[in-house]
A and B are shown apart, each in its own frame.
Chain A
């Protein structure tokens, strides 16, 4: 059983296009996250949602718009894609309430903007 799943796994698109990445978790967690991993493997938080409510928005350009239709899903929509958006995007989930709760990561979506 897949705990945190993302689709698609690979996404190749042209500059200026709009694209979405979907994330689902079946762990019963109430908090979900999006992280961006750049070409040097550096990982940085983008967004966090708790029970469909936005908790963290780390100065991400407003071309990025997360949407959480329910607490098991957190999708990421990106408008007007730029070359610098090329990266691997990871979704994660955890239970809330404590900073020591493990976050479970999805397999990642490799986005390439041409």
Chain B
């Protein structure tokens, strides 16, 4: 079956530090890959996505590149802000699976301190 593994948190950083959250996946088909963000007390919001190998998704200074050879989709941001404190979820949607369900990683809590 499909699965997503991401680094456990919490990750604690100072403002303007570099952030990396590792994400690897296994899938039976040709997945699309997503990063969702959940701010405290809110639902999930799509941060970025990539739909095929070597695609790079980017948004709000965050980037992730779809690496088929290493089955990875690591999230990076060069200079984090306090407002980036949230839980980040890596997810995949498999074109071979019915219903377009999202399979999520366990989430990584990020805390950015001033």
Residues of A within 8 A of B (CB): 4, 31, 33, 35, 40-45, 48, 50, 55-56, 58, 90, 92, 94, 96, 98-108
Q: With A41-B106, A43-B107, A99-B31 in contact, is A105–B101 under 8 Å at CB?
A: no
Do the beta carbons of B107 and A41 come within 8 Å of each other?
yes
Contact of A42 among B46, B51, B98, B106 (CB under 8 A): B106
Summed over the interface, the residue pairs from A and B with CB atoms below 8 Å come to a total of 69
Contact of A45 among B31, B38, B101, B109 (CB under 8 A): B101
Q: A31-B100, A108-B43 are in contact. List 7 more A-B contacts (CB 8 A).
A: A90-B44, A92-B44, A99-B95, A99-B97, A103-B46, A103-B102, A105-B44
Q: Which residues of B contact A40 (CB under 8 A)?
A: 106
Contact of B99 among A35, A55, A104 (CB under 8 A): A55
The interface bits of chain B over 81-114 (1 if a CB of A lies within 8 angstroms of the residue's CB, else 0) are 0000001010001110111111110110100000
Q: Is B42 an interface residue (CB 8 A)?
A: yes
CB distance from A11 to the nearest CB of B (A): 16
Main SS class of interface, B? strand
The interface bits of chain B over 24-35 (1 if a CB of A lies within 8 angstroms of the residue's CB, else 0) are 000000011010
Q: List 18 A-B contacts (CB under 8 A).
A: A31-B99, A31-B100, A40-B106, A41-B38, A41-B87, A43-B44, A43-B89, A43-B104, A48-B100, A56-B98, A96-B100, A98-B95, A99-B32, A100-B49, A101-B100, A105-B43, A105-B45, A107-B42
The contact size tier of chain B is 20 to 34
CB distance from B48 to the nearest CB of A (A): 10
Contact of B100 among A4, A43, A98, A107 (CB under 8 A): A98
Q: Which residues of B contact A92 (CB under 8 A)?
A: 44
Looking at A31, A40, A100, the one whose CB has the most chain B CB atoms below 10 A away is A100
